[in-house]
Structure 1
Amino acid sequence: MSTPQTQRPQPDPIRFYGTSWVDHTRGYGARRFALGLGASLLAALGILGLKLGYNGLTLSQSASWLRILVIVAFAGCTAMAFTRAMRGWTRPRPSAGEDEAAFRSIKIIGFVGILLAYALRSAVEAPGERMRRLDHEAAVEQYERLTSKRSRNPSRRAGRAGAGARRR
């Protein structure tokens, strides 16, 4: 029986970038610029939509406390969504599964914050690139360490074979 040959670790693809983030090829810079610009435009459209909604509240002559509550809710959710998105692309989260489900409604309400975070992160690198790069480099380093080691000293192997032959 032979042991299966381990292959060099492959990088994980990032949405919209594939694996071009590894060596910055295949239009990586142009793609980063276009996606950052697109996220900025979508954030501006989102702000416009929120402004139209607020104008609807004003025209309906709703109570001033309700208008203030809506502004505070959208501003708070936008700020939380922005910070969580930026932190998520630079540092690992310990329990991402449960945490993401709990903050889903905040992310939906604060969609402008997520779009702004994506646009700002795209100005520096692909969102999530730092985390993927650290993981990939650690996996490659471990692979190199495991494949470069010799499991046994070749001179001892020859000695054992000779010793085994003498015992017979």
Structure 2
Amino acid sequence: MSDENGTPDTAAGPGGPRPEPLRFFGTTWVDHDGGYALRRAGVAVGALAATTVACLVLRFAYQGLAVADIGGFVNLLVVVMFAVCSALAFRTTWEGFSKRPDPDRQASLRGLLTIGFVGTLVAYFFRTLTEAPGEKLHRAEYETARQRYAKRGSRRTGNPAKKRRRT
């Protein structure tokens, strides 16, 4: 859910706005509690392991092309395609950690991002070395929502009908 500005709806309950949960982290990113450091380490190890497995799968695919003896030009095209798609996936994923991606652009890049899945995994690995992926963006949005909530709550105090009239 998001409001009219496109920012996510941090629903304000009785205690103010609630933080939006992050994948693998829930809301532990707010106060870095509840095993946050352990989760970050786990996501980093998982992303690195998934990257390693993905590279092995791509290597087996490339070896399959070599066994099929389809030619050097096609082999070069496949390598360049995976390299370019991985670079685009890395950049898109990395930028998505600091600003909300445009849904239309994401939909148009879905094929490239799928082919370049190794770049996405590498971006997750490197981001988890410093913070939870997307924490910076969510923290800024959460702080803005908390400030708006505090400002909205401090504008009006008491019942205006009981206000003393000046004479």
Q: Same fold (TM over 0.5)?
A: yes
- For the residue of structure 2 that corresponds to 1:124, the secondary structure is coil
Amino acid at match of 1:143: Y
Runs of 4+ off more than 6 Å: none
Give yes or no for the alignment of 1:16 onto 2:24: yes
Give the gaps of 5 or more residues in structure 1: 164-168
Q: Counterpart of 2:165? A: 159
Instruction: Determine which of 47, 61, 65 is the counterpart of 2:69.
Output: 61
Q: Counterpart of 1:87? A: 95
Inter-partner Cα distance in structure 2 for 1:138 and 1:107: 31
Amino acid at match of 1:53: A
Give the gaps of 5 or more residues in structure 2: 1-11
Aligned sequence identity (%): 37
Q: Deviations over 1:46-70 (max 9, x none)?
A: 0011111111111111111000000
Specify which structure has the higher proportion of helix: 1
Amino acid at match of 1:139: A
Q: Counterpart of 1:166? A: none
Give yes or no for the alignment of 1:116 onto 2:122: yes
Inter-partner Cα distance in structure 1 for 2:27 and 2:72: 51
Inter-partner Cα distance in structure 2 for 1:143 and 1:33: 34
Instruction: Determine which of 47, 62, 81 is the counterpart of 1:73.
Output: 81
Give yes or no for the alignment of 1:52 onto 2:57: no
- Aligned CA-pair RMSD: 2.1
- For the residue of structure 1 that corresponds to 2:92, the secondary structure is helix
Instruction: Determine which of 28, 33, 39 is the counterpart of 2:36.
Output: 28
